[in-house]
Every structure is written in structure tokens, then in C-alpha cells.
Amino acid sequence: MADKRTAKLTLDDGREIVLPVFEGTEQECAVDVSSLRKETGYITYDNGFVNTGSCQSTITFVDGEKGILRYRGYPIEELAENCRFVEVAYLLVYGALPTREELDNFSAQLTERANIHEDMKHFFTGFPVAAHPMAILSSMVTSLSSYYPTSGDEEWNFDDTVARLIAKVRTIAAYSYRKATGEPFVYPRGDLSYCENFLNMMFSGEGKNYEISDKALRALDKVLILHADHEQNCSTSAVRLVGSSRAPLYASIGAGISALWGPLHGGASQAAVEMLMAINEDGGDCGKYIAMAKDKDDPFRLMGFGHRVYKNYDPRARILKQSCDEILDELNIDDPLLSIAKSLEKVALEDEYFVSRNLYPNVDFYAGIIYRALGIPVNMFTVMFTLGRLPGWIAQWYESTQDPDWRIWRPRQVYQGETSRAFIPIDRR
């Protein structure tokens, strides 16, 4: 809602346009330019939408300058320390932390809907063995709309769809891994928690005695919680954009998965670990790679540092750094990548080049090390990000559908191409 403040825009022809100012509950202010083109013929230009508010939301608050992240008002540090992932998923989707009864009912729904339709298992045989798990996941999630009622259908039920998506995406993710390894699928079990079920479907089987430690489960819960939502990022914006056309939830989530796949977004944890592996194979000389990152003529980039929003230490990275120490100690793993990561972080936090550019470690920097400790292969890292981000996408999609000012997203552009040209028949060209 606009407050009494306004902003005044003076155009080059002397016209002055008064624009309303909006303020959020955390004192974020925005100039409402929605009527600018209609009144003046002008549009705003904001490459990459860095300074553009595309919606009003009650889900997640990020203060990049102060390093603050809250879901529905709750600090991320408290949620990561005290909650399981399923609790946070419920919080994001429904707006409040669940009671014991609500959590039990929600968990029971996830268990009930964990299996995919038997016919869908045939889809996996159609993918090449080397198919990337994200390609499989995106295709399979979109195909869910062929089996279950979608938004807009008379039989559609939001609660059922939420439970179905969160439960089945986990199963599809595990099956995509088993497809790649050539091992038989492992069905979800009714006696295991959300994270236990995922790890069991990934790694158990005939002749395998797979034991899941409590520390491993807590580490996985934390990673998923920390990835659960992050305001209007690339993939969340993709979900909202597709949903603005009134596309069903499954299709919108499929778009989010595709957007997340990119190495500058969800694929960053894979890129960070691959960088650490390369440094380790090169003798572990962090100074060499720090120098390369500072050389403007060198194409090398220090992955896992810096963030579009955070101009301070990413609060999620601080939590995961501690989790790395705990999980590697619990599992008695001596991973040289953690030592390299800490060395890089120490140098970067003390180097004026990185400090002046706000290049602090982000969530991707330590997430991959935890995944490695759990035995999750590198090409599954972005899939893990998807599992965590799914509740946030659902919440964002649903919130957008309830917006009384719903409209299809349709950005403008500043055209820089050829002006009107006379057509030349093909025989005269």
C-alpha cells in the first residue's frame, strides 16, 4: 500500500511526474512506476532487474547489507538449529510453524504420496545412462501433470498437490541417481523420515548395509533448510513468471528447475567443489589461485564467493561451515577440500581486493563439501538444491495466484535494432 510519501521525476521536456512510494514491513522503499509509460511514454531500464521489485511478498526477507535472512519472520539461524526440513517446508507453504499434530499429519501425507505412478518408471528407461539428473528431474516433474489434476481443474486440491510434489520430487531425484548407476530403484519406506528416506533410496540395496547417522541427517536437514527460499532469485522469478500465465504448478516448477540448473545459480555448488578439486590436484596452492582470481586478464573465477544480494557474509555459509566440521568429524572423513576451502576463505577475508568488492563466501562454498561427505556425486548437487528450494517455489507460486492484482508478467525492452526498412524482393537482393 502506498504511503503519503512520493517521488518526483523530472523529464527532459520539463514535465514533472509524481510517483507513489511503497514501504514494506522492514522499511524497504519502492517507487511505483507501474503507470509511468501510460502517463509519459517512458519506461524504466534496469538490466537484469537488479533494482526492480516484481511483486510484494510475505514469504522471505533478505537484507544483503546486514547479512540477514528470515523465512516468514523467523531468523534462518534459529530455523536451521531447531527445525527439520519438513517443518520449514510447512512454514513456507502455509505461513506458520506447524503444531505437533499438523506436522505429524503433513509428514504422513508425504509418506502416503512418496511413490510415483508405476508407469512413470518406464520414463527412466528412455533417458540415456549419461543423462544429467537435472534433465531427468525437470522432465519428470512436468510429466506429473499427466497423472494428477492440475490447478484449474475441478478436482484440483492445493494441499494434495503440495504433499505430492514435495514427496515425489524426492523419489524422482533418488531414482535419477539409481538410473545413472544402473542399480534397481529402491521404494520409499513408511517408517523413515523425509531425509532418511531420500538417503535410503539413494544408497541402500541388496548386499548393502547402509546406516544413516544422526549427524548426517542433521547436516542434510540444514542444507535443505538453508536452500528452501531466497526471495526473488532467478529460479523463483521463473516460477512466478510461468505461473503468471496461469500455467499449472507442475509446469511452473519445471521452469524453476531449468532455471536453477545454470552454473551461476543452482549449479554454483558443483562449480565450487570442482574448483576446490582442481586446486587440490594442483598441489593445494591457494595463493596461486587467489592471484589468478585478482588478475583481470585471467578467465579464472573464484567460485563460491560473492552474491548478487549479499554484500556481507552470507549467513547460510556461516552455518554450513560449522556443519562441515561436525559431519566430517562424525564420519571420520579427512577431506582435503575443506582445508583448501578454509584457506581460501581466510585469505579472501583478509585481502583488500576481496573485502572491497564484498566477495565473501556464499552458501554454495560449503554445501558441496557436505554433499561429498554424504556420498552424493557432484552431478547431483543441483538436484539437492532443487529438493531444498521446492517448498519456497510452491509458496511463491501460490502467493502469486492469490494476488488480487494478478497480471501476466510482460517486461518491456529498449529496442536498439534497425529502424523501418524497405522490403527488397529476393531476386533483387
* Domain spans in the chain, listed from the N-terminal domain onward: 2-63, 74-262, 268-373
DSSP string for residues in 123-183:
HHHTS-TT--HHHHHHHHHHHGGGTS--TTSTT--HHHHHHHHHHHHHHHHHHHHHHHHTP
Please report which helix (H) or strand (E) contains residue 23, including its range: strand 16-23
132 is catalytic: no
Q: Which amino acid is residue 420, in one-letter code?
A: S
Could you identify the residue written with the cell 510429466? 143
| 74-109: burial string, b at 16+ Cβ within 10 Å, e else | bebbebbeebbbbbbbbbbbbeebbeeeebeebbeb
Name the nearest CA neighbour of 239 among 229, 231, 249, 225: 249
- Active-site residue (options: 364, 403, 405, 427): 364
What architecture is the 2-63 domain classified under in CATH?
Single Sheet (2.20)
- The per-residue pLDDT for 149 is 80
364 is catalytic: yes
- The per-residue pLDDT for 244 is 96
Rg (C-alpha) for the chain, rounded Å, is: 24
Spans of the chain, pLDDT less than 50: 1-2
Q: Which CATH number fits domain 74-262: 2.60.40.1220, 3.30.1050.10, 1.10.580.10, 1.10.3720.10?
A: 1.10.580.10
Straight-line distance from the first to the last Cα atom of the chain, in angstroms, rounded to the nearest whole number: 57
Q: Which amino acid is residue 162, in one-letter code?
A: V
- The per-residue pLDDT for 213 is 83
Do domains 2-63 and 268-373 share one topology? The answer is no
Name the nearest CA neighbour of 314 among 272, 351, 358: 358
Domain 268-373 has CATH 1.10.230.10: yes
Taken in order 192, 195, 198, 201, the sign of the CA dihedral is negative
Count of CB atoms within 10 A of residue 292's CB? 14
- Active-site residue (options: 230, 265, 307, 335): 307
For 210, residues 6+ apart whose C-beta sits below 8 A from its C-beta are: 199, 200, 203, 204
- The per-residue pLDDT for 64 is 86
- The per-residue pLDDT for 3 is 62
Count of CB atoms within 10 A of residue 210's CB? 12
Q: Which cell goes with 399?
A: 502467493
